[in-house]
Amino acid sequence: MATVLGHRTHTEAVLIQSRAGDQCNECQAKKIRMENLSVVVDLLALQPNTGPTAKAAKNAEYKAHIEKCKQDLAEEQAKAREFEAEVRLSERKASRYDLGEALLQIAVVLSSITLFTRNRGYFLLGLVLGATGLLIAASTLLVH
């Protein structure tokens, strides 16, 4: 179970990291659009007067788009940070599952050695490591 849960947690971290990357890409796209609109506003200011009302209306429209982009950009960046926090959480959980799995596998090997050597010390050490592995894997439920 520790192996399966560890693999699933690693997969979850990769998927969340992919979402975080997508979110960052979306932020970049919005930032580029915002910069393009800023250039258009600057170019409109340099144009000769073709009609002050049309020019002012377009200028106001583009400035409104820029403000909306700034708000959207802040929201997108917050979402990206949330995804990155989820990735770190998933990685911490996966690390605990991996350590628990390793200790459980060592416990199985030590218990097997007991069959060949008839030395109970290996068996007791295997039990201790197995219990520790179970506790560490179960401690994943406490990670927040």
Domain housing 31: 2-142
Tell me the average pLDDT across 60-89. 86
Q: Is the dihedral of CA 12, 17, 18, 23 positive or negative?
A: positive
58-80 b/e (C-beta count within 10 Å ≥ 16 → b): eeeebeebbeebeebbeebbebb
pLDDT in tens, 7-18: 899 999 999 999
CB-based burial of residue 52 (10 Å sphere; 0-12 exposed, 13-18 middle, 19+ buried)?
exposed
Share of the chain above pLDDT 70, in %: 97
Confidence band (pLDDT; 50, 70, 90) for 34?
confident
- Averaged over 56-71, what is the pLDDT? 81
pTM for the predicted model, two decimal places = 0.69
pLDDT in tens, 96-117: 999 999 999 999 999 999 888 8
Average pLDDT, integer, range 119-139 = 92
When divided into structural domains, the chain yields a total of: 1
